[in-house]
Amino acid sequence: MRRVAIIGVGQTKFGEHWSEGFRDMVTEAGAKAIEDANIHGEEIQAGYVGTMASGRLVGQEHIGALLADYMGLNPIPITRVEGACASGALAFRQGFMAVASGMHDVVVVGGVEKMTDLDVSEVSDILGGAGDQEWELFLGATFPGLYAMMARRHMYEYGTTPEMLASVAVKNHKNGAKNKYAQYQNEITLEQVLKSKMIADPLKVFDCSPITDGAAAVVLAPLDVANKYSEQPIEIIASAQASDNIALHSRASLSELRATKVAAKQAFEQAKLTTKDIDLAEVHDCFTIAEIMAIEDLGFYKKGEGGKASLDGKTALDAEIAVNTSGGLKACGHPVGATGIKQICELTWQLRGKADGRQRKDAEIGLAHNVGGSGATAVVHILKQGW
């Protein structure tokens, strides 16, 4: 397999885009990534795009052909990839494998979702399809409800507290306040989180990621020619994916995501690294408990210690391991198909030393962790400076 590098990245601002459509956002992100890569459109040989529910959210299917058309990339093949909230990371993995295998040399990968055109109840119903429709959604389980069950079990087993959950939101909003692409660029306090409206006990409004519009894109090429395009290529040194039971009631544990643990183990083995080598991580914090479980399942902290580590500030920008420097899904926003690509954009900017006011000092190696649904899919990538 060939070594693969990221040579360009681009992202729209995440938020509520009333005046921009689905195709406008992904075209903007793609154009930014292509410009950043210093390439011409005719050099691109293939593309992949992650989107979870464009058919139900905006009534548009056949996304690959749509993007080839509107980005002026016909007749190259562009393929839609779907894996619930991990759609972006799965598309990125497909692009990585296409270049690593030698099938293609220059590949563009995007992620997009337009979610705010429908009311909250409709969007919640659509997102529920990322779980077990027959045994969860049909019986009334929402995603806040599913993650609330995980949170309650984690509290029961390990003594995790609402304050520990709230500390995740506070930290991510502090980072998001420094990110011009973030949906919420404001800091919040522990008290604000704890006093916010209850959604599904123990998860409150400020424990939950928002409904968001947005797109992100990257351009990939073989590492041995990456310097032709970019002065700061970022090498992809690991790519791993794993699956688990889609319904919570079928899993061995409610307080961990087995798919994350398996994918992380494979990724660290591929990269020949350990958690101590990672400077920063973008993890899937769709709810605050998700970040706590992620930093445990990825191996940064022992099971049951993630909450205390968060409350003690050990995941802050310049602490032991900087987690969600972008603001995470919580503050940056969560357009589900775009999130996995946004994580890659953030790590690229960090490893290039170009993350503005949220720059992690001496960042050299970063990890991205994207989850589909309540954990039935997990994707882990590890990146490092490639120059």
Q: Could you tell me the CATH number of the domain that includes residue 17?
A: 3.40.47.10
- Count Cβ atoms below 10 Å from residue 27 Cβ, excluding itself: 22
Split into its structural domains, the chain has a count of 2
Residues 249 and 221 in one domain: no
E strands in the chain: 4-11, 46-50, 78-81, 107-113, 198-200, 203-204, 214-222, 234-243, 280-282, 322-323, 365-372, 377-385
List the beta bridge partners of residue 369. 380
Residues 189 and 294 in one domain: yes
Residues 200 and 305 in one domain: yes
E strands in 15-87: 46-50, 78-81
Distance CA 216, CA 348 (A): 12
153 residue type, one letter: R
Note down pLDDT in tens along the chain; length 387 residues: 999 999 999 999 999 999 999 999 999 999 999 999 999 878 999 999 999 999 999 999 999 999 999 999 999 999 999 999 999 999 999 999 999 999 999 999 999 999 999 999 999 999 999 999 999 999 999 999 999 999 999 999 999 999 999 999 999 999 999 999 999 999 999 999 999 999 999 999 999 999 999 999 999 999 999 999 999 999 999 999 999 999 999 999 999 999 999 999 999 999 999 999 999 999 999 999 999 999 999 999 999 999 999 999 999 999 989 999 999 999 999 999 999 999 999 999 999 999 989 999 999 999 999 999 999 999 999 999 998
pLDDT at 202: 98
Residues 265 and 366 in one domain: yes
Phi then psi dihedrals of residue 349, to 5 deg: -60, -40
* In a domain? residue 133: no
Residues 189 and 304 in one domain: yes
Q: Which residues are catalytic?
A: 85, 334
Rounded to two decimals, the pTM is 0.98
CB pairs under 8 A, 24+ apart, for 295-300?
295/321, 295/323, 296/256, 297/256, 297/257, 297/260, 297/261, 297/264, 298/260, 298/261, 298/264, 298/367, 298/369, 298/380, 299/261, 299/264, 299/268, 299/274, 299/275, 300/275
Helix (H, G, I), strand (E, B) or coil at 298: coil
Residue that has been written with the tokens 């970019």 in this structure: 230
Residue that has been written with the tokens 């002065």 in this structure: 231
Token pair for 167: 């500390």
* In a domain? residue 128: no
pLDDT at 155: 98
* In a domain? residue 104: yes
Q: H helices within 60-161, ranges in order?
A: 63-70, 87-100, 120-128, 143-158
Residues 252 and 366 in one domain: yes
In this structure, the chain runs to a length of: 387
* In a domain? residue 326: yes
Residue 223: CB partners within 8 Å, gap ≥ 6? Answer: 2, 3, 4, 5, 233, 235, 386
Token pair for 90: 């799965």
Residues 168 and 52 in one domain: no
The β-bridge relationship of strands 198-200 and 280-282 is unpaired
Phi then psi dihedrals of residue 178, to 5 deg: -105, 10
Phi then psi dihedrals of residue 199, to 5 deg: -105, -55
In terms of residue numbers, what domain contains 372? Answer: 140-208+236-385
* In a domain? residue 106: yes
Residues 274 and 223 in one domain: no
* In a domain? residue 132: no
228 residue type, one letter: K
- Count Cβ atoms below 10 Å from residue 172 Cβ, excluding itself: 29
Token pair for 82: 């779907």
Token pair for 289: 């408990």
The β-bridge relationship of strands 107-113 and 214-222 is antiparallel
Residues 10 and 87 in one domain: yes
Residues 46 and 64 in one domain: yes
* In a domain? residue 126: no
Specify whether the CB–CB gap between 210 and 363 falls below 8 A. Answer: no
